[in-house]
Amino acid sequence: MVGIVIVSHSWKIAEGVRDLAREMAQNFTGLLCAGGLGDGSIGTDAQRIADAILEADSGDGVVIMADIGSSIMSAESAIELLEEDGHEVNAVIADAPIVEGSICAVVEAAGGGDLDSVLKSAEESREASKL
């Protein structure tokens, strides 16, 4: 099953998005948060993201959902850290809104979608009209 990691500068945001997405697929276990810094402050930590990627990866890959700016850079650094440590990493960063994209990704992953379809589902959420 494809794993999903939610990266936000805020642990509370990452946790809230995770909780909301879990409501759409309650039995999905491959959804992890990597928000904030270890002391609870605002920021991102590449090692924290790398650890979440490893935990979320059951062998089918991981889609990373990130909020803004440096969370993308931290996610890229996390992938590089894992590769430098000799891990075979099959993780991709979605170009999608963190809330809507995470929900779409979780529903697709819980339904058995592969990495490409989970990524596509997350990224297609950019086009969804709310009105």
pLDDT in tens, 42-61: 999 999 999 999 999 999 99
Report the number of secondary-structure helices (H) and strands (E) in the chain: 5, 4
What was the pLDDT predicted at 38? 86
- Please name the residue that has the structure tokens 């990266």: 7
Distances (CA, A) of 80 to 5, 34, 46: 16, 16, 9
Amino acid occupying residue 120: K
Kindly report the average pLDDT of the chain as a whole number.
Answer: 94
87: annotated active-site residue: no
Q: Between 1.10.10.10, 2.60.260.40, 3.30.1960.10, 3.40.50.510, what CATH number should domain 3-121 receive?
A: 3.40.50.510
| Radius of gyration of the chain from its Cα atoms, rounded to whole angstroms | 13
pTM assigned to the model: 0.94
The one catalytic residue in 5, 9, 82, 109 is 9
Q: Where are the domains of the chain?
A: 3-121
Residue 129's pLDDT band (boundaries 50, 70, 90)?
confident
pLDDT in tens, 86-116: 998 899 999 999 999 999 999 999 999 999 9
Amino acid occupying residue 63: V
